Amino acid sequence: MNITAILVAAAVVGGVGIIIGFFLGISGEKFKVEVDEREEAIMGVLPGNNCGGCGYAGCSGLAAAIVKGEAPVGQCPVGGAPVAAQIGEIMGVAAEEGARKVAFVKCAGTCEKAGRDYDYTGNEDCASMAFVPNGGPKSCNYGCLGYGSCVKACPFDAIHIVDGIALVDKEACKACGKCVAACPKNLIELVPYDAKHLVQCSSKDKGKDVMKACSVGCIGCQLCVKNCPSDAVHVADNIAYIDQTKCTGCGICAQKCPKKIIL
């Protein structure tokens, strides 16, 4: 073994490493992107969940957008009002008070209440039901499939399948919207946390067809519409909708509903 050759090789490798490191250091200084101090401060305030519920690619994307003026200080659904207030202080603007929202599943078709056309055995994923007969085993084509695509999408463990349908834990929900995007039936929407009454159904079938498929589905009878004193309830496409800006929480619609589908 030639010791001299080994030492020369080691010296050459070390020298090359030093030269490369020197040039990388110079390049890093010359081409580095200056980061606004406010952006770093906002990153320190954001919860760091990187859930994407704000509409940006993680918390860093939102922080950059806020500094550029492309997003409001209250854009983070996870942090809510407390985080919005802190970011407002960093940006020197007042944070608008936003109403807290939570996800709501517009289906009450549990295993007992919803009919089934057949027994299904296979891949338990809601999106996969588009490739099976009738869009899934449930008789109602609008109902919750119960295979938990929303559960898998939720980063906060705020939604679970109970008795065949998805149920949201209001206290754990951060309104990030992941479950909304994951549901192939478009059954989940974000509603005010303090909403007094909600229609737990999405079927647009006519009343007689609804009753064949589910014992608690909305039949579009309009009794809720006729009895609402604040004009907050309307029926469109055979399904009742409640305008939360008009609803006073009197409860008359829920009392009059023959299917007891209004929570």
Q: Answer with the residue of higher pLDDT: 16 or 218.
A: 218
Could you tell me if 137 and 217 are in contact, meaning their C-beta atoms sit under 8 angstroms apart? no
> What does the pLDDT look like over 207-227, one tens digit per residue?
899 999 999 999 999 999 999
Could you tell me if 47 and 75 are in contact, meaning their C-beta atoms sit under 8 angstroms apart? no
User: What is the per-residue pLDDT for 128?
Assistant: 87
> What does the pLDDT look like over 109-145, one tens digit per residue?
998 999 998 888 888 889 888 888 888 899 999 999 9
Tokens of 185: 């039936």
User: What does the pLDDT average to over 240-244?
Assistant: 92
Amino acid residing at 68: K
Neighbour-count burial of 213, counting CB atoms closer than 10 A to its CB (0-12 exposed, 13-18 middle, 19+ buried): buried
Query: What is the set of domains in the chain, with CATH numbers?
Result: 40-91 (1.10.15.40), 100-193 (3.30.70.20), 195-263 (3.30.70.20)
Q: For the chain, what percent of residues have pLDDT higher than 90? A: 43
Neighbour-count burial of 6, counting CB atoms closer than 10 A to its CB (0-12 exposed, 13-18 middle, 19+ buried): exposed
Could you tell me if 39 and 63 are in contact, meaning their C-beta atoms sit under 8 angstroms apart? yes
Angle at 68 between CA 65 and CA 73, to 5 degrees: 60
> What does the pLDDT look like over 52-99, one tens digit per residue?
777 787 888 888 888 888 888 888 888 877 888 888 888 888 776 667
Query: What are the C-alpha distances in Å from 253 to residues 118, 135, 165, 192?
Result: 34, 32, 24, 18
Could you tell me if 214 and 89 are in contact, meaning their C-beta atoms sit under 8 angstroms apart? no
pTM for this entry: 0.72
